[in-house]
Homo-oligomer: A and B are copies of this chain.
Amino acid sequence: MADPKILQVFPNPAPGRDYVIEHTHHEFTSMCPITGHPDFGSISVRYVAGAKCVELKSLKLYFHAFRNEGIFFEAVTNKICDDLGKLLGPRSLTVTSDWKGRGGVTSVITASWKPGAGRRR
Protein backbone atom coordinates (compact mmCIF):
# COMPACT_ATOMS: atom_id res chain seq x y z
CA MET A 1 0.00 0.00 0.00
CA ALA A 2 1.25 3.49 -0.82
CA ASP A 3 3.35 4.63 2.12
CA PRO A 4 2.47 8.12 3.41
CA LYS A 5 6.14 8.53 4.36
CA ILE A 6 6.71 9.41 0.69
CA LEU A 7 4.92 12.70 1.37
CA GLN A 8 6.98 15.77 2.23
CA VAL A 9 5.93 19.13 3.65
CA PHE A 10 7.13 22.73 3.66
CA PRO A 11 6.11 25.59 5.97
CA ASN A 12 2.98 27.48 4.94
CA PRO A 13 4.24 30.78 3.48
CA ALA A 14 1.12 32.72 4.57
CA PRO A 15 -0.03 31.20 7.88
CA GLY A 16 -1.92 34.34 8.82
CA ARG A 17 -4.39 33.89 5.97
CA ASP A 18 -6.99 31.18 5.31
CA TYR A 19 -6.40 30.53 1.64
CA VAL A 20 -7.26 27.51 -0.48
CA ILE A 21 -4.77 25.20 -2.20
CA GLU A 22 -6.02 22.63 -4.71
CA HIS A 23 -3.89 20.03 -6.50
CA THR A 24 -5.48 17.72 -9.07
CA HIS A 25 -3.69 14.62 -10.34
CA HIS A 26 -5.27 13.77 -13.70
CA GLU A 27 -3.49 10.46 -14.30
CA PHE A 28 -4.23 8.38 -11.21
CA THR A 29 -4.33 4.63 -11.75
CA SER A 30 -4.78 1.70 -9.38
CA MET A 31 -6.12 -1.85 -9.73
CA CYS A 32 -9.51 -3.41 -9.01
CA PRO A 33 -8.93 -5.71 -5.98
CA ILE A 34 -11.37 -8.29 -7.39
CA THR A 35 -10.67 -8.51 -11.11
CA GLY A 36 -7.15 -7.12 -11.24
CA HIS A 37 -8.18 -4.78 -14.08
CA PRO A 38 -6.68 -1.28 -14.03
CA ASP A 39 -8.78 1.67 -12.85
CA PHE A 40 -8.17 5.23 -14.07
CA GLY A 41 -9.30 8.55 -12.69
CA SER A 42 -8.28 11.86 -11.19
CA ILE A 43 -7.70 12.81 -7.55
CA SER A 44 -8.24 16.35 -6.25
CA VAL A 45 -6.86 17.50 -2.92
CA ARG A 46 -8.28 20.81 -1.70
CA TYR A 47 -7.21 22.21 1.66
CA VAL A 48 -6.63 25.25 3.82
CA ALA A 49 -3.17 24.83 5.26
CA GLY A 50 -2.33 25.12 8.90
CA ALA A 51 1.41 25.25 9.61
CA LYS A 52 2.34 22.93 6.72
CA CYS A 53 1.85 22.58 2.95
CA VAL A 54 2.35 19.33 1.04
CA GLU A 55 5.25 19.40 -1.43
CA LEU A 56 3.93 18.89 -4.95
CA LYS A 57 6.46 16.42 -6.35
CA SER A 58 6.25 14.15 -3.31
CA LEU A 59 2.45 14.19 -3.66
CA LYS A 60 2.80 13.01 -7.24
CA LEU A 61 5.13 10.17 -6.22
CA TYR A 62 2.73 9.18 -3.43
CA PHE A 63 -0.05 8.94 -6.04
CA HIS A 64 2.22 6.89 -8.35
CA ALA A 65 2.69 4.38 -5.51
CA PHE A 66 -0.93 3.19 -5.95
CA ARG A 67 -0.21 2.04 -9.52
CA ASN A 68 -0.16 -1.67 -8.79
CA GLU A 69 -2.28 -1.71 -5.63
CA GLY A 70 -5.66 -3.47 -5.59
CA ILE A 71 -8.00 -1.10 -3.76
CA PHE A 72 -11.68 -0.04 -3.97
CA PHE A 73 -12.72 3.49 -4.98
CA GLU A 74 -14.22 4.20 -1.56
CA ALA A 75 -11.15 2.90 0.30
CA VAL A 76 -8.50 4.75 -1.70
CA THR A 77 -10.33 8.05 -1.32
CA ASN A 78 -10.58 7.65 2.46
CA LYS A 79 -6.96 6.50 2.76
CA ILE A 80 -5.65 9.58 0.91
CA CYS A 81 -7.88 11.78 3.08
CA ASP A 82 -6.56 10.12 6.26
CA ASP A 83 -2.91 10.20 5.19
CA LEU A 84 -2.98 13.89 4.24
CA GLY A 85 -5.09 14.87 7.25
CA LYS A 86 -2.63 13.26 9.68
CA LEU A 87 0.37 14.68 7.82
CA LEU A 88 -0.80 18.27 7.44
CA GLY A 89 -3.18 18.98 10.31
CA PRO A 90 -5.06 21.25 7.91
CA ARG A 91 -7.76 23.77 8.82
CA SER A 92 -9.90 21.91 6.31
CA LEU A 93 -9.30 19.22 3.70
CA THR A 94 -11.44 17.56 1.01
CA VAL A 95 -10.35 14.73 -1.30
CA THR A 96 -12.33 13.91 -4.43
CA SER A 97 -11.73 10.96 -6.74
CA ASP A 98 -13.39 10.93 -10.14
CA TRP A 99 -13.26 7.57 -11.97
CA LYS A 100 -13.53 6.92 -15.67
CA GLY A 101 -16.34 4.73 -16.94
CA ARG A 102 -16.19 0.94 -16.89
CA GLY A 103 -19.18 -0.69 -18.59
CA GLY A 104 -20.90 2.70 -18.84
CA VAL A 105 -20.65 3.63 -15.13
CA THR A 106 -18.57 6.50 -13.74
CA SER A 107 -18.08 7.21 -10.03
CA VAL A 108 -17.14 10.18 -7.88
CA ILE A 109 -16.21 9.85 -4.18
CA THR A 110 -15.78 12.93 -1.97
CA ALA A 111 -14.44 12.76 1.60
CA SER A 112 -13.59 15.56 4.02
CA TRP A 113 -11.15 15.22 6.89
CA LYS A 114 -11.90 15.74 10.53
CA PRO A 115 -9.68 14.57 13.35
CA GLY A 116 -10.80 11.28 14.89
CA ALA A 117 -13.11 10.32 12.00
CA GLY A 118 -12.05 7.95 9.30
CA ARG A 119 -11.73 4.44 8.05
CA ARG A 120 -12.74 1.50 10.16
CA ARG A 121 -9.47 -0.38 9.77
Contacts and interface: CB of A to CB of B under 8 A. Distances in A.
Nearest to A11: B120
A53 to B, nearest CB: 6
A101 B40 CA distance: 14
A118 B16 CA distance: 5
Contacts of A27: 29, 38, 40, 100, 104
A86 interface: no
A118 B14 contact: yes
A94 to B, nearest CB: 9
Interface of A: 11-27, 29, 37-38, 40, 53, 56, 59-60, 64, 67-68, 72-75, 77-78, 81, 100-112, 114, 116-121
